Amino acid sequence: MNIPLVDLYAQYLSIRHDIDSAIERVITRSTFIGGEDVRNFEIEFAQYCRQREHTSGAAANLYCASCGNGTDALCLALQALGIGIGDEVITTAHTFIATAEAISSTGAKPVFLDIEEDTFVIDPKQIETAITPNTRAIIPVHLYGQACDMDAILEIARRHDLKVIEDAAQAHGATWRGKRVGSFGHAACFSFYPGKNLGAYGDAGAVVSQDEDLIRRIRMRANHGRLDKYVHEIEGVSSRLDGLNAAVLRVKLRHLDAWNAARQQHAARYMAVLRGSGVVLPAVRLGAEPVWHLFVIKVRDRDRVRVKLQQQGVSTGVHYPLPLHRQPAYKHLAIPDGALPVTNRVATEILSLPMYPELSADQIDAIGKVVSEALEP
């Protein structure tokens, strides 16, 4: 048996013809930076985030500015929302470092909250305890593909006049009460890193917002502060989606719902196969419909189980083994190791099992068997 954590080549094979002709089209036109595919992808992705499931009624218009990667998307959004030196931004330590790096890059300070034990995302009940006169924003991270409790978060943000920036890098298409992530906050940031649910063939990212002017300013800043070729309104940065990746993303966006549905089926099968095996299965919050970027179980003696799985040919991951407040990079924040007990405990128990649309039912059954065997004393 040899089952990887993700298999991007299998996905390519399933859409090879469309991808190859999209790439050829870009090369023939030589629109390598900017151009029609970039513009159209922005329109199509904004439209995608706006679609509702299980609910009717008109959703607010959304706008999209693409950029070089998900980290830049967060930096650009925070900056455009006026976050800077002296400000504090609340998020979690149980996330990829990019969330915190983006906060620091503006000159603001990341404030790490503990997570909910069962869903792995920010605990809304703790947010108000962390608000100070310097707090300007909250970054809820829709981790592993599951939306945070956006009702609770938006309500607290309204009451304290805080900005909400969704880190949706792992949650393309995930919904909260029938609305897709990206449509809740003042801005939402997506990564199209190859392994994400919607992944480019290289680095790529985007910001989505209901605020058209905010998106205009982000687009300007991401492209040297210009909207016109030779007029620079401000000093910006160079963080652009390239034409080849825009064309790849446009092809893949058409399959995203089917791929997410396959992930949902795989998650349901994992749940059925692993029930009663002694592992703690991932919890789904009532109102959330996850897109299972990762399928993360909790297991005692995780590192031993992990080795056993690898010996049987099942690759796994740990997202993430060392919480941000204990990373060398954040030593200067002087947060005591024990400050975030749930985050710390979870970091020793979590195990990401293989999860990608092309996984087969037989493979999931086989993985389930190997996990159960690994847990036998």
Ligand X SMILES: *Cc1c(COP(=O)(O)O)cnc(C)c1O
Please state, in angstroms and rounded to a whole number, the distance separating the CA atoms of residues 198 and 217: 25
Q: State the amino acid at position 120 in one-letter form.
A: F
Dist. CA 2–CA 198, nearest whole Å: 24
Between CA 306 and CA 314 the distance in angstroms is 9
86 class by beta-carbon count within 10 Å (0-12 exposed, 13-18 middle, 19+ buried):
exposed
Closest distance of CB 277 from ligand X, Å? 28
Whichever of 31 and 66 has its CB closer to ligand X, that residue is 66
Report if residue 141 touches ligand X, rule: CB under 6 A.
Answer: yes
User: Under the criterion CB under 6 A, does residue 69 sit at the interface with ligand X?
Assistant: yes
Residue 173 or 368 having the CB closest to ligand X: 173
Residue closer to ligand X (CB basis): 71 or 210: 71
Closest CA to 35 of 26, 46, 24: 26
Nearer of residues 98 and 156 to ligand X, judged by Cβ: 98
Residue 98 binds to ligand X (criterion: CB under 6 A): yes
Assign 11 to helix, strand or coil.
Answer: helix
Q: How many residues belong to the site for ligand X (CB under 6 A)?
A: 15
CA–CA separation, 121 and 343 (whole Å): 10
User: Exposed/middle/buried for 341, CB within 10 Å: 0-12, 13-18, 19+?
Assistant: exposed
CA distances to 47, 97, 136, 167, 181 from 100, rounded to whole Å, are 28, 5, 15, 11, 20
- Give Cβ neighbours of residue 340 (< 8 Å, ≥ 6 apart): 93, 94, 112, 113, 114, 115, 323, 325
CB of 148 to ligand X, least distance (A): 12
User: Which region among 10-18, 31-39, 64-72, 177-185 touches ligand X (by CB under 6 A)?
Assistant: 64-72
CA–CA gap between residue 279 and residue 284 (Å, rounded): 16
Q: What is the dihedral of CA 342, 344, 347, 350, to 10 degrees?
A: -30
Q: Is 210 in the site for ligand X (CB under 6 A)?
A: no
Instruction: Judge contact between 234 and 80, C-beta under 8 A.
Output: no
Of all residues in the shown chain, the one whose CB is closest to ligand X is 70
Pick out residues in 112-131 that bind ligand X (CB under 6 A): none
Using the rule CB under 6 A, is 19 a contact of ligand X?
A: no
Please tell me whether residue 185 binds ligand X under the rule CB under 6 A. no
For the bound state, the minimum distance from the C-beta of residue 175 to ligand X, rounded and expressed in Å, comes to 18
Which residue lies nearer to ligand X by CB, 75 or 335?
Answer: 75
Tell whether residue 149 is a contact of ligand X (CB under 6 A): no
Residue 352 sits in the site that holds ligand X (CB under 6 A): no
Stretch that binds ligand X, among 96-104, 110-118, 245-253, 343-351 (CB under 6 A): 96-104
Stretch that binds ligand X, among 13-21, 83-91, 94-102, 124-132 (CB under 6 A): 94-102
Q: Please identify, among the stretches 43-51, 106-114, 167-175, 347-355, the one whose residues bind ligand X according to the rule CB under 6 A.
A: 167-175
Q: Does 199 bind ligand X (CB under 6 A)?
A: no
Peptide bond into 320 cis (omega under 30): yes
Q: Which of 41, 48, 176, 193 is close enough to bind ligand X by CB under 6 A?
A: 193
* Site residues for ligand X per CB under 6 A: 69-71, 95-96, 98-99, 141, 167, 169-170, 191, 193, 203, 205
